[in-house]
Structure 1
Amino acid sequence: MRRAVAASAVALLALAGPVGCGEASPSDRARPAPLHPLNGAAYYSDAEQRTMDEKVEAATGDCMRRRGFHYPAEPTPPATAPVESEPGNPYGLLDARDARTRGYGIVPEEMRRRQGGPSATPSSPDPRYAAALLGDQTRQRTLPLPDGNEVSIAVGACVTEARAAVFGDDWDRLFYTVQALSNMVITRTGDSPEVARALETWSSCVGRAGHPAAHPEELREALHERARAAADAEAVRAVARAELATAEADADCQEQAGLRQALRDAQRRVEQQVLTDGFRRDVEQLRQRRQRVLG
């Protein structure tokens, strides 16, 4: 499922305009814990990703300078939206309070995309510079992954050496292994019978609420299309109002269908099937290395 980008409640409500008061969210209801495979080992908050990227960029610059090249680290982009305290979930689950105030974050994401303007076409780099930074096709090592796929890693490239300098040797194998395991868990969890039953109940519920869909992703895709097609401010406000209404119905129906619990139960069972002792050690080792880098 698409990772929903968190949006400012103020920004989205301002775009939407008056949408009615509705029922206030219970203030004493605990916010549900994030549901991520492998206890979140493959997920990073925006702040965590930013810290790791900055350290890898610095190490890449050191490597390139040792090889005689000037490498200006990419500037850190300004924060144009609130930093998420938690990374997005892979199942499209919604918290009712967030849904009422943030929706899915689709309209603010589209507004940020439009404000970014056209991207400049990068100039072709010096082949020697590119080889030092990214490696070449003649020096690659292939890593087999648990899901049957494989990934090629450049040997001797500064980007590869920088990751090893920051996270330690064998980081690439750990990282891609855990990513593949996470994807396996997500796919098998989504295909489980209890989740299918919960989605049928959810689909009937959102259909009665005026938002027919067989899967939560369909609601998001329809809103993404409307946001991209909105040509003026009034059209954008209409999409924002529709987003809030759709997300609220989505969240309410998820709760009525018990979708979160069905996913939690299925994910727990799938992880028991997927994680061998060796994979569990890989997950824990990656978690420890990440934490060491984040401090």
Structure 2
Amino acid sequence: MKRRLDAIAATAAALAAAVVLAGCAASAAPRAGGPVREPSTAEVRLLERAEQILISGCMRERGFPYAVTESPADGAARRSFPYAVDDVEWARAHGYGGRDERRGAEARQADPNQQYFHSLSARRRAAARTALMGRSPVGLSAEAPTGMTLTASTEGCIAQAQRTLYGDLAGWFRAKVVTMNLRPAQETRVRGDRRYADAVREWAGCMRAAGRPHATPLESRQAAAGLADAAESELAVIEATCATGTPLARVSQALDLTYGEEVRAQHQDEIALRRRLQNDALPMAERVVAQHDA
């Protein structure tokens, strides 16, 4: 199944574009000689900033302003619970994260690139999209571990910036597509495991006993979507209490570890390639950022 990376048509947040071209490819084999060093969080943020600066310069040359923005730092409020909320204290403070998601949506709406995009006429918006992403998502293609095929253009300022940083644009695209989709593939395997299904049934029994007859954590989360903040937190605390009071938390964590190792082993070449391309791009990124900041 193919999905075109055409998010800009729906939202100008895609003008920030680090997400849109989310994929790298292993057209070149990783270097031999042991594991490749994983870049630090600071180094990854440096690469992201350098890419934004390169995109900004490219867009300016094509007649469109483009602000260099920083991706938000990760924190406790951004925690993910793919199988069930299993931290009672976090649930008490954040519920299912609905309040944090709303704050994130407000921040995205305040993004200067998004605001600029929405201010354009339809004709200029299409021209900005073409400048950023190319005329059509053709030229780059990669299959994610989930089985979905993602495509993107070799034209546009995103492609130009990533080609400048990483050299091997097709390699970067495929490696990033694969590595950014390891987690979804891992979670799919956990949910398909009989041991997880058995643990969910025990959890559902606990939820029924607490007056919340939800058959799965997904049902519980969906029920929370229409609740006020206090009621959302109350339901999340009950879910977390049942997850830790039954085998669900223990089983899901163990399966997640097992399948995570399995998925990473199957895609170790793409993981190594992504790290190598990132490490090789660091000197260029340092120069780009230093010149921009100066």
Q: Give the TM bin, normalised by the shorter chain.
A: 0.5 to 0.7
Partner of 2:59: 64
Q: CA RMSD in A?
A: 3.8
Q: Per the alignment, in what secondary structure is the counterpart of residue 164 of structure 1? A: helix
- Measured in 1, the distance between the counterparts of 2:127 and 2:230 equals 52
Superimposed CA distance per residue, residues 177-198 of structure 1 (whole angstroms, 9 cap, x where no aligned partner)? 1233332211111111111111
Question: Which whole-Å CA distance do the structure 2 matches of 1:137 and 1:112 have between them?
Answer: 29
Which of 99, 105, 108 is 2:97 aligned to? Answer: 105
Aligned 8 A contact 1:145 1:180 in 2: yes
CA deviations over 1:51-80 (Å, ceiling 9, x no partner): 665432211122334xx323422364898x
The farther-off stretch of 54-63 and 127-136 is 127-136
Partner of 1:243: helix, strand, or coil?
Answer: helix
Instruction: Report 1 or 2 for greater relative contact order, CA contacts < 8 Å, sequence distance ≥ 6.
Output: 2
Q: Map residues 156-235 of structure 1 onto 2, 5 A cutoff.
A: 156-167=155-166, 169=168, 170-226=171-227
Looking at structure 2, the residues matched to 245 and 128 of structure 1 have their Cα atoms a distance apart, in angstroms, of: 48
Contact 2:138 2:151 (8 Å CA) reproduced: no
Say yes or no: does 1:242 pair with 2:231.
yes
| Residue aligned with 1:183, SS | helix
> What's the CA shift for 1:130?
4.0
Which position in structure 2 is the counterpart of 1:152?
151
CA distance in 2, matches of 1:139, 1:111: 35
**What TM-score, normalized by structure 1, do the two folds share?**
0.64
1:133–1:220: structure 2 CA closer, same or farther, 3 Å change rule? same
Normalised TM-score (structure 2):
0.64
What's the CA shift for 1:127? 5.8
Identical-residue share of aligned pairs (%): 22
The total of aligned residue pairs comes to 235
Query: How far did 1:108 drift?
Result: 5.4
**How big is the shift at 1:48?**
9.0
Q: SS state of the match for residue 142, structure 1? A: strand
- 2:255 aligned partner: 266
Deviation digits for residues 126-154 of structure 1, max 9, x if unmatched? Answer: 76654332112385233233443211120
Q: Distance in 1 between matches of 2:134 and 2:62?
A: 14
1:135 and 1:173 mapped to 2: Cα distance?
18
Find the counterpart in structure 2 of residue 11 from structure 1: none
Tell me how far apart the structure 1 counterparts of residues 121 and 143 of structure 2 sit (CA, whole Å).
34
Secondary structure at 2:225 match in 1 = helix
> Is the Cα–Cα contact under 8 Å of residues 143 and 153 in structure 1 kept in the other structure?
no
Superposed CA deviations along residues 98-134 of structure 1, whole A, max 9, x for unmatched, are 11222222245447768969x8464222766543321
Q: Are 2:284 and 1:281 equivalent residues in the alignment?
A: no
Q: Counterpart of 1:225 in 2: which secondary structure? A: coil
Relative to 1, partners in 2 of residues 1:159 and 1:93: Cα closer, same or farther, differing over 3 Å?
Answer: same
8 A Cα contact 2:200 2:216, kept in partner: yes
The CA distance in 1 between the partners of 2:54 and 2:85, in whole Å, is 37
- Aligned partners of 2:85 and 2:236 also within 8 Å: no
Q: Distance in 2 between matches of 1:244 and 1:213?
A: 16
Q: Deviations over 1:230-287 (max 9, x none)?
A: xxxxxxxxx222122111111111101222321232234434554455x113224435
Asked if 1 retains the 8 angstrom alpha-carbon contact of 2:56 and 2:68, the reply is no
